[in-house]
Structure 1
């Protein structure tokens, strides 16, 4: 925290200047203005700038405190806690000037942050015609950072533009966060105290930019982000060490260049400036939005925060837990208010594309898991979403549910129901699963009085099938499916378009869940005898437009931790493709292990540093695709695995390959560079591509079984993934 404040003050010195003459009058940050709400019941930090050595006195509510500006003109003090009420006036007095903030109320201040669904304006919510005329509420005050979007490589002490506190009126709230307003209005109605709302959101942004640098510390799963941020921070030891090394390399080059000039000899180009030292300035880069849109208000006393974000991180899956932990922990550390309440909205159903139906429920379940973080909570809204619109217009329900959650968990109000049904236990008997729920209110019901929807059972084969569910008692369900005699697991609402009808009688819906143990089985061996004896390592439902360079590869199955340290004897790949209404096609290829690095057996990424352009031995091929050679222990196998761009040149001198067309002998691939991407398996003796998966760094990817009938044999430049309704890659291993 000390380093954060030092960095922050360095930025202030650059922005404001070091001349005391600039600070002759006391200056308050923009978070302090007339009409503000200051947090009740908590000591109130007040800070600003003045002339170095100038004494500043702040009077508020009959109390006063003083501080002396330091050598850089900074001052900060704390005023005693105040009871709810107002209006009051704050007077900041220096040696020659006075600043006044009028019409101040004391109540509860909430930060409202996230991406576009938090940013969504009240005037665009579906009930705006009724809500806006009723929004003349002087006990609610609004501070809108969202309309002052900015990024910064280091924490700022001031907002770049000029937000100010406004009384809530139909005009001021029309452009304000709808979720934030309806949340605040419900709190004000229930509590009868002033409510201050600070909106700071940016549509389409990820969670990492909203997280301060300190949040990433000590979270091993986020080491790569922590290192990236540190290398871009001039105050950090890694930055300074890397810059010293660059300067030393440059000085050595200068010496050699002068010597070469005198001797009339050639010299190599000078060392390139390390790109990792370039300041982070994009709105998707870690810390940049916190630095510009949150840091300038810290440590303004607050009550808590609400959060509506996740669409842009939906591919993270379980990794999002650690990122949410970093966000919440970082904010709490810098605010210095302990574990203040932090509540969020689970993502609503939406059609993100047919290629990724399970990405959303995995993310939703991860969001639920984040409730393990102290003093947090979540509301589910799969009953008020819109699968055709990523911005559901019903923000009233969202805001009121967040307020109800806060009333129960923070304000300790007597609220009977503040959550939808949550599955807490499963027992199995006679081929049926009995599920027990908490938060059932006065009982479980179907919202539309129809049979309960979106339940699935998993049997011994590890495959989920549609199931029927029936309510048995106030808090239990019985789930069964034809043909499933042994039940291993149940999952619910496991599809991005799922708008399930299970809820409690009070109208709160149940969110997606999986309960039980899902067996990881090699179902390929039931239809491909050559797959017998292999264990699935990775299973990937390939997106039509993947972005595996900038997002973690979203494996449906990832057993790399299970097999860590075990010796792999053989590796197998099976690519399955199916067009709508046509039979499933596949090619299965196994080979002697070409690496023991499990990460490099999957989709080659710059992070895994996978690069293989080599022959493989002991190749066995099984396929139902015409023209693909099959057999056991075949010669002539080779692989081309890399994350980068590549060219048609036959760089590895593969027999039978062309030097001018993309096929089974290409070149230019690199291990650590992000680019087109190539995962190809060939039989060069038969002049045949067996499996091709190209272009996962952006745009429509390319998939092929056997040789492409047109253009390049290895399917490069076909952009054909949209032709298939099923696209699945399975990586398997045979252990010693």
Structure 2
């Protein structure tokens, strides 16, 4: 018998005295606490009792991804100050899944790194990549400061892992990526926690009975060099598969389209002519450039390409400016998960393009622009010999003017036919918080985009 002290009692019988799996669902409860939960087992005249104390009700968010989600508060800018704030938030509760992989779907976690706990400086910063996630914690803290009711944070991430490891076989098959891991029939080079589905099996599937409010996700670096082109399918497919699994596993307590926030990739190599990072940034949006979009409903994106950190002691791929990342995710959550009107949660994005004569391209954006610099090379145009698209090449298009939400680019470097335009199409497009374009109202950076087709101009 399970009872919540103030109102609800449910009885569950295991036929034949067996040891099956059982669960109890309570009616929706307003945020708050503390409460106690008592579970009793009665066999003949004997009574075994377990009491859970200091129980709170609120919103639970799942935090997943690879090493940038794994980074702890110890590793962020102003770490000492951040760690002193831990004790100020006793109504945020933390849970961290242990690192495990499995060739089959598990019903329970094979290990727990942090059992449900009140936040402490030790849990948040006892080591590098080993204690609780900084992005997850900071996101939850921003939410608590706004909502003023309990927030549960569940971390389940593993550094260096591709999206395929976090996706079920069903999700991968939707993108023509089918791996029979259990039979050893993998036609790929991934091993260990990089193997397809092994982290879904061990670290996500066991959580699906949990009722969650939403998910935030920081991953993609591992896919810049593996199945890059497929990410525009694998990411949306994983989102939809998680949604279905958690909705069914919680018997409807988790919304079928629960909010899903993600961090668009930051930076890595400086001055390296490699476009794998911008392609993943683009594919993270299912090739729309913004979120939510028709293929990724109820999603929100934190742009991070302006947070490059050349001096990071943890490697330049691990920028320390996680407060900004978490805050940008928080704005998206307010708008998408909590329906707060008037929240600007994404940077300006192009609405339409206009060629003026043969010397100027005008771009009209969705928001009023804050232009920090008339950059000479952040924009590029695809220049082609007339009707000969095999001759096309990307050349710089300097910003020459701007007014309100309109930007003008010079076409002087292309005296032929313009068939495309792209913005920030570089692995390291700008210095810290100094990309050329931001929203004037929200100060959020404009995301990267590429418009490769003639009929868009």
Q: Could you say which TM-score interval applies, normalised by the shorter chain?
A: 0.7 to 0.9
Choose from 424, 436, 439 the match for 2:364: 436
Match for residue 223 of structure 2 among 304, 313, 324: 313
Q: 1: distance between equivalents of 2:168 and 2:53?
A: 32
Contact 1:435 1:476 in 2 (8 A): yes
Aligned residue among 497, 503, 516 for 2:428: 497
- How big is the shift at 1:72? 5.2
Query: Is the 8 Å Cα contact of residues 274 and 427 (structure 2) preserved in structure 1?
Result: yes
Matches within 5 A, 1:530-541: none
- Give deviations 1:294-317, integer Å, cap 9, x for gaps: 222221111010000000011333
Q: Distance in 1 between matches of 2:66 and 2:281?
A: 16
Which whole-Å CA distance do the structure 1 matches of 2:238 and 2:191 have between them?
19
> Could you tell me how far apart the structure 1 residues matched to 2:142 and 2:74 are?
18
Other-structure match for 2:414 = 484
Aligned to 2:446: 510
Partner Cα distance (2:343, 2:243) in 1: 29
Mapped contact 1:179–1:399 kept (Cα < 8 A):
yes
Q: How far has the Cα of 1:277 moved from its partner?
A: 9.2
Per the TM alignment, residue 392 of structure 1 is displaced from its structure 2 partner at its CA by: 0.2
Q: Indicate the residue corresponding to 2:50 in structure 1.
A: 99
Give how far 1:345 is off.
0.2
Q: Deviations over 1:208-230 (max 9, x none)?
A: 1111233235x1x32x42x525x
Query: How far apart in 2 are the matches of 1:414 and 1:374?
Result: 17
Give the secondary structure class of the aligned counterpart of 1:112.
Answer: strand
* Inter-partner Cα distance in structure 1 for 2:140 and 2:228: 31
Residues 158-307 of structure 1 aligned to structure 2 (within 5 Å): 158-162=108-112, 163-174=114-125, 175-217=131-173, 219=174, 221-222=175-176, 224-225=177-178, 227-229=179-181, 232=182, 275-276=184-185, 282-307=192-217
In 1, the alpha carbon distance for the partners of 2:377 and 2:245 equals 45
Q: Give the aligned partner of residue 725 of structure 1.
A: none
Separation in structure 2 between the aligned mates of residue 188 and residue 381 of structure 1, nearest angstrom: 23
Q: Name the counterpart of 1:394.
A: 321
On the 8 A contact 1:59/1:65 being kept in 2, the answer is: no
Q: Which of 322, 337, 356 in structure 1 is aligned with 2:233? A: 322
Structure 1's 417 and 452: CA in aligned 2 closer, same or farther, altered over 3 A?
farther
Q: Distance in 2 between matches of 1:374 and 1:101?
A: 37
In 1, Cα distance between equivalents of 2:270 and 2:62: 29
For 2:267 and 2:195, the matched residues in 1 are separated by: 27
Is the CA contact (8 Å cut-off) linking 2:92 and 2:151 kept in structure 1? yes
Q: Which residue of 2 is the match for residue 608 of structure 1? A: none
For residues 493-545 of structure 1, what are the alpha-carbon distances to aligned partners after superposition, in whole Å with 9 as ceiling and x for unaligned? 111121132112232111211125169xxxxxxxxxxxxxxxxxxxxxxxxxx
Counterpart in 2 of 1:361?
A: 278
**CA, structure 1 residues 470+191, in 2 after alignment: closer, same or farther (shift >3 Å)?**
farther
1:655-682 Cα shifts (integer Å, max 9, x gaps): xxxxxxxxxxxxxxxxxxxxxxxxxxxx
Q: CA deviation at 1:446?
A: 2.6
Q: What is residue 92 of structure 2 aligned with on the other side?
A: 140
**Secondary structure of 1:142's aligned partner:** strand
Q: Structure 2: how far apart are the matches of 1:139 and 1:166?
A: 10
Preserved contact between residue 445 and residue 471 of structure 1 (Cα < 8 Å): no
- Give per-residue Cα distances to partners, 1:605-649, cap 9 Å, x unaligned: xxxxxxxxxxxxxxxxxxxxxxxxxxxxxxxxxxxxxxxxxxxxx
Contact 1:425 1:515 (8 Å CA) reproduced: no
Post-superposition offset of 1:281 = 7.8
Aligned partner of residue 195 in structure 2, secondary structure: coil
Aligned to 1:73: 20
Matched, 1:82 2:82: no
How far residue 132 of structure 1 moved from its aligned partner, in angstroms, is 1.0
SS in 1 for 2:237: helix
1:125 aligns with 2:76: yes
Counterparts of residues 499-578 of structure 1 (less than 5 Å) = 499=430, 500-505=435-440, 506-517=442-453
**Structure 2 residue 348 is the aligned partner of structure 1 residue 417:** no
Other structure's SS at 2:185 match: helix
Residues 114 and 202 in structure 1, CA contact (< 8 A), matched pair in contact too = yes
1:414 to partner: Cα distance = 3.3
- The aligned residue for residue 269 of structure 2 is 351
Aligned counterparts of 1:214 and 1:63: Cα–Cα separation in 2? 38
Q: Distance in 1 between matches of 2:383 and 2:204?
A: 49
Question: Structure 2, unaligned stretches of length 5 or more?
Answer: 126-130, 248-253, 386-391
> Using a 3 Å threshold, how does the CA distance of structure 1 residues 290 and 275 change in structure 2: closer, same or farther?
closer
**How far apart, in 2, do the equivalents of 1:344 and 1:64 lie?**
39
Whole-angstrom CA distance in 1 between matches of 2:380 and 2:270: 22
Quote the residue 2:260 is aligned against: 342
CA distance, structure 1, for counterparts of residue 283 and residue 185 of structure 2? 31
Distance 1:58 1:295, change over 3 A: farther
| CA 1:181–1:471: 2 relative to 1, 3 Å | farther
- The unaligned stretches of length 5 or more in structure 1 are 1-55, 233-273, 520-736
CA contact (8 A) 1:184 1:195 kept: yes
Q: How many residues align structurally?
A: 409
CA positional deviation for 1:445: 1.9
**Corresponding residue of 1:381:** 304
Q: Say whether the 8 Å CA contact 1:426–1:515 is kept in structure 2.
A: no
Q: For 1:119 and 1:514, locate their aligned partners in 2 and report how far apart those are by CA, in whole Å.
A: 30
SS of the equivalent of 1:396 reads: helix
Residue correspondence of structure 1 range 651-670 to structure 2 within 5 A: none
Greater relative CO, 1 or 2 (CA 8 Å, sep 6+): 2
User: In structure 2, how many angstroms separate the alpha carbons of the residues matched to 1:340 and 1:294?
Assistant: 15
Contact in 2 for aligned 1:61/1:90 (Cα 8 Å): no
Provide, for residues 699-727 of structure 1, a one-character-per-residue CA deviation record: whole Å limited to 9, x for no partner. Answer: xxxxxxxxxxxxxxxxxxxxxxxxxxxxx
